[in-house]
């Protein structure tokens, strides 16, 4: 089934100059429906990761996600949500499979290079968080 998902190249990967390589790899598997480079405000990052509010890593996560520019993309493809998470690899890069984006580019569990939506409901909310319908081409 054709799906859309939200991808973020996180501040660590942008800072390291890996955004282009990551986007090229993404583009070899998915159609890029929309793309923006931006720096999240504290309020935006807190809202985006609201599902994790109260967890021990939440404040550091918001701090990290606002620490520099990110590249945000809406991706489209067959089973894009699960397939993009497969391409990303496990949250902890030490557990990520060979060849995955996190295995190649993540520095640690908290600085892990990329984000991907985890379900159709969250994908719809996350895509709308960054892109008005008219920008989804």
Residues annotated as part of the active site: 115
Angle, CA 51 vertex, CA 98 and CA 14 arms, to 5°: 45
Rg (CA), the chain: 14
Q: Which residue has the tokens 């719809």?
A: 124
* Least gap, CB of 84 to Mg ion (angstroms): 12
Q: Which is nearer to ligand ATP, 83 or 110 (CB)?
A: 110
Give the strand pairing for 70-78 and 114-116: unpaired
Q: Which of residues 116-135 bind ligand ATP (CB under 6 A)?
A: 116, 118
Binding segment toward ligand ATP, per CB under 6 A, in 15-23, 72-80, 93-101, 112-120: 112-120
- For position 107 contacting ligand ATP by CB under 6 A, the verdict is no
Q: Which does 112 bind (CB under 5 to 8 A by kind): ligand ATP, Mg ion, none?
A: ligand ATP
Q: Which residue is nearest to ligand ATP (CB)?
A: 91
**Concatenated DSSP letters for 72-133?**
EEEEEEETHHHHHHHHH--SSGGGSPTTSHHHHH--SSSS-SEEE--SHHHHHHHHHHH--G
Q: Which is nearer to Mg ion, 22 or 88 (CB)?
A: 88
Q: Which is nearer to ligand ATP, 121 or 134 (CB)?
A: 121
- Short-list 106, 81, 108, 122, CA closest to 18: 106
* Least gap, CB of 2 to ligand ATP (angstroms): 21
Q: Which of residues 21-40 bind ligand ATP (CB under 6 A)?
A: none
């Amino acid at each position: 089934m054709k799906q859309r998902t939200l991808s973020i190249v996180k501040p660590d990967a942008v800072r390291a100059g890996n955004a282009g390589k990551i986007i090229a790899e993404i583009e070899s598997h998915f159609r890029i429906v929309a793309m923006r480079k931006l720096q999240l405000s504290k309020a935006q990052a807190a809202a985006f990761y609201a599902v994790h509010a109260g967890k021990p890593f939440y404040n550091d996560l918001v701090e990290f996600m606002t620490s520099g520019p990110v590249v945000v993309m809406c991706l489209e493809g067959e089973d894009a949500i699960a397939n993009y998470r497969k391409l990303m690899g496990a949250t902890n890069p030490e557990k990520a499979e060979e060849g995955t984006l996190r295995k190649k580019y993540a520095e640690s569990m908290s600085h892990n290079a990329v984000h991907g939506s985890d379900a159709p409901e969250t994908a719809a909310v996350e895509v709308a968080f960054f892109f008005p319908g008219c920008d989804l081409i």
